[in-house]
Amino acid sequence: MHPIKFSIATSHDIASAVPKLTYLNGDLVDGQIIFTADKDEGSLTANVVNYKGSELPNTGGMGTTILYAAGIILILAAGAFLVMQKKAENK
């Protein structure tokens, strides 16, 4: 995962009858991204690339490992039982 951290700096002209945004900037703190500021719209835009794959955190701890192991053991036991049952039928 590649987190992007940034800060937004603005300045307003509040002395006029119609307050207006005079400065807008996205300052990058950490990561790689390019911001485009539009003072008239009052917005910052950036292109974010979405990569394939997942980087989800491993949750569940030992509980999931035990469940995986128990499931594998049950599948192997069922397979062994079927093989032994097939051999007993052939005799």
With beta carbons less than 8 A apart as the criterion, state whether 48 and 36 touch: no
Of residues 1 and 77, which shows the higher confidence score? Answer: 77
Whole-angstrom distance, CA of residue 24 vs CA of residue 12:
9
Whole-angstrom distance, CA of residue 45 vs CA of residue 35:
6
**Domain coordinates in residue numbering, the chain:** 1-51, 60-91
pLDDT band at 1, cuts 50/70/90? low
Looking at the chain, the whole-number percentage of residues with pLDDT higher than 90 is: 23
| Residue 66 scores a pLDDT above 60 | yes
CA 7 to chain CA mean position, Å: 21
Helix/strand/coil (H, E, C) string of 7-41?
EEEEEEECCCCCCEEEEEEEEEEECCCCEEEECCC
Looking at the chain, the whole-number percentage of residues with pLDDT higher than 70 is: 98
